[in-house]
Structure 1
Amino acid sequence: MAWDEWEQLKADAAARGSTGMRLNHVPLEPGGGGGRDLKSDKKVWTQAGEDTKGLQDDVGKALGKLDDGQSGLGEMSGVQSAAAQRELYESWKKYVTGVKGRCGELGGLMERSGHDLAMSDGEVQAELEKIKAKYHDTEAVGGQAKDR
């Protein structure tokens, strides 16, 4: 397609103006809603929250295995590879601990949302932002030259 033809198609589309968005091909009625009610199942939200919180157990087991695997490293003075491995371990331990905490908090928020469905979208968004701020990802440390 030639550039001029593309520009003409864009100009024609702009001239037609915006069409209203329709979900599931149901035209909007005055006052919104399209004649359908939004339904949410409390049991599903509660179960999803419980399942998300349940991930903490598996993450905790993985963290324990990570600790066990690190315990045999021994003295690290003078061995660059051991120091690099220790740095990687500390980074991952911090990250995985954060994942475990995030699962608990997000699962709890989902459960609370499911039990009463009384939180507004803004309140849920604010809670999600708190979790996001608390558990921001760790800085990358692997592969970076340090003091070299």
Structure 2
Amino acid sequence: MSWDEWEQIKADVAARESTGMRLNQHPAGQDGSGSSLTDGLRSSKKAWLKAGEGVGSLRKGVSTALTQLEEGQSGLGAPSGCLSAEAQRSVFSSWKRYTRAVSGRCGSLQEVLEKVGHEQLKTDESVRAEVESLKLAYQDTEAVGGSGAGKGR
């Protein structure tokens, strides 16, 4: 895969992200109704389902990018002593693992959002528990180079 192809893939993904996703929420009623999880806001089933759909589209985009990345690697062959080929294979392997993890995370979050939309998770506590389990299952690692604390910015 040439550098220009990689830049084009990144530009395509960035263009898709620019459309964004909106959740249509309404303020809590005068009677104090509304969810403590949403800080006093009420939302519709449609909003939760739309959020799940949006996360699902992110998953599809990640899968498409991974497919394109794999296709670009197909002619590389065995590195056999070529340092740049070995480095490229290592980077590809790392990104393949990463994109699969992102896809899995999107799928899990999509499932939770859709359960809320279909009222299978009816209480704030059940929603909070599902989100916490996702946080534990997909806990991020520290950024390379540390947290950046103490650097002059």
Superimposed CA distance per residue, residues 37-95 of structure 1 (whole angstroms, 9 cap, x where no aligned partner): 22221111111112212322221111100101111211212122221211111111111
Secondary structure of residue in 2 paired with 1:73: coil
- Which is further off, 115-124 or 64-73? 115-124
Corresponding residue number in structure 1 for 2:18? none
Corresponding residue pairs, total: 109
Superimposed CA distance per residue, residues 107-139 of structure 1 (whole angstroms, 9 cap, x where no aligned partner): 110111122174433322322232233334468
TM-score, length-scaled by structure 1: 0.62
Write out aligned runs for 1:8-19 (5 A): none
Corresponding residue number in structure 1 for 2:106? 103
One of 77, 80, 104 as aligned partner of 1:74: 77
Superimposed CA distance per residue, residues 6-59 of structure 1 (whole angstroms, 9 cap, x where no aligned partner): xxxxxxxxxxxxxxxxxxxxxxxxxxx984322221111111112212322221
Among the aligned pairs, what percent are the same residue? 47
Question: Do 2:52 and 2:109's aligned partners in 1 also have CA atoms closer than 8 Å?
Answer: yes
Instruction: Determine the C-alpha separation between the residues in 2 that align with 1:48 and 1:79.
Output: 46
Q: Aligned letter for 1:56?
A: R
Corresponding residue number in structure 1 for 2:33? 37
- Which is further off, 54-63 or 87-96? 54-63
Kindly indicate whether residue 66 of structure 2 is the aligned counterpart of residue 63 of structure 1: yes
Secondary structure of residue in 1 paired with 2:75: helix
Corresponding residue number in structure 2 for 1:114? 117
- Structure 2: 5+ residue runs without aligned partners? 1-28, 35-41, 145-153
Corresponding residue number in structure 2 for 1:128? 131
- Structure 1: 5+ residue runs without aligned partners? 1-32, 142-148
**Greater fraction helix:** 1
What is the RMSD computed on CA atoms of the aligned residues?
Answer: 2.5
